[in-house]
Amino acid sequence: MKKLVLLLAAVIGVAACLPPLPKAITLGDIRLPLVGQEEMWVADNYEGKPVLVVFMGSWCPWCKRTMPAINAIAAQYGDQVEIVGAFMDETSDPVKEVLKEHELKVKALFDASEFAEDLGVDGVPHSILFDKKHRAVKMWEGYNPNFEEEFEQQIKRIL
């Protein structure tokens, strides 16, 4: 019995020294302006549907290289997953130019810096896949030439 009490005390002591668990990342009740539209994109409108958010900047060459993968995934899974490009740009005009130049075919949001900061995003491109309950299940930081395959693999896991 004495050994059990000592073991329990040791376990509690070790647990007390561990850092706290990180806060779960969720989509939340985000509302952002849509490029070229008067309405807002509202996360709650996609309750029960996975969401892929790709944070970008109109000035970012690596973000532009990501756009073909985003288009390919949208063509294949766009009816099952809400896919959006969340641009850090404060205004929509530079985003409109990039959308036209690179033929990005997903919904584009702008003025997303605060949203990105809330999620711990500190660079672009940065992608976050949220499950049907809008909990983050996968994050990608920076550019990856295998985005299309990785996006597809992770989306298949949560559908």
Mean pLDDT rounded to a whole number for the chain: 89
- Residue-wise pLDDT for 15-49, tens only, equals 555 554 355 788 988 999 999 999 999 999 999 99
Q: Please, is 141 exposed, middle or buried when counting C-beta atoms within 10 Å of its C-beta (0-12, 13-18, 19+)?
A: middle
CA separation for the pair 73, 13 (Å, rounded)? 48
CATH superfamily of 26-158: Glutaredoxin (3.40.30.10)
pLDDT value, residue 2: 64
Q: Please, is 104 exposed, middle or buried when counting C-beta atoms within 10 Å of its C-beta (0-12, 13-18, 19+)?
A: buried
Average pLDDT over residues 87-103: 96
Percent of the chain scoring above 70 in pLDDT? 86
Confidence of residue 148 (pLDDT cuts 50, 70, 90): very high
CA separation for the pair 57, 90 (Å, rounded)? 10
